[in-house]
Amino acid sequence: MACARAFKGEELVITDYSQEIVDKALDTLKKEGFNASGIACDITNKKDVENLKNYVAERGSLGALIHTAGVSGTVQDLKKVYTIDLVGTEILIDAFYKIAIDDSVAVLFSSMMAHAVPANAKYDNALENPSASGSFETVSQFVGGSSDNMYNFAKRGVQLLSIKHADAWGAKGARIVTISPGVIETPMGLKAAEEHPERMELIKKATPLGRYGSPQDVVGVVKFLVSDAARFITATDILVDGGVIHNIKNMG
Q: Give φ, ψ of 106 to 5 degrees.
A: -110, 125
Of 177, 91, 92, 164, the closest CA to residue 128 belongs to 164
Q: Whole-number minimum distance, CB 42 to ligand NAD, in Å?
A: 5
Least CB distance to ligand NAD at residue 154 (A):
9
Give the residue with the Cβ less far from ligand NAD, 104 or 180. 180
* SS3 label, residue 135: helix
Residues facing residue 105 across a β-bridge = 64, 175
Which 3 state secondary structure label does DSSP give 143?
coil
Euclidean distance between CA atoms 237 and 178, whole angstroms: 5
**Residue type (1 letter), 248:** I
User: Nearest distance from residue 177's CB to ligand NAD, in Å?
Assistant: 14
- Rounded-to-integer distance, Cα 169 and Cα 191, Å: 35
Measured CA to CA, the distance from residue 125 to residue 144 in angstroms comes to 19
Whichever of 44 and 140 has its CB closer to ligand NAD, that residue is 44
Residue ranges that bind ligand NAD, judged by CB under 6 A: 16-17, 21, 41-44, 68-72, 84, 88, 109, 111, 181, 183-184, 186-189
Q: Which is nearer to ligand NAD, 61 or 76 (CB)?
A: 76
Q: Is 177 helix (H, G, I), strand (E, B) or coil?
A: strand
DSSP 86: I
- Minimum CB separation from ligand NAD for residue 110, in Å? 7
Inter-axis angle of helices 147-171 and 121-128, nearest 10: 60
**Residue whose CB is less far from ligand NAD, 13 or 183:** 183
Helix or strand holding residue 126 (H, E): helix 121-128
User: Measured from the CB of residue 72, what is the shortest distance to ligand NAD in angstroms?
Assistant: 6
Cβ 88 to ligand NAD shortest distance, Å: 6
Nearer Cβ to ligand NAD (84/93): 84
Residue of closest CB approach to ligand NAD:
70
Minimum separation from the CB atom of position 76 to ligand NAD (A): 15
**How far is 89 from 130, CA to CA, in rounded Å?**
10
Nearest Cα neighbor of 51 from 12, 91, 110 is 91
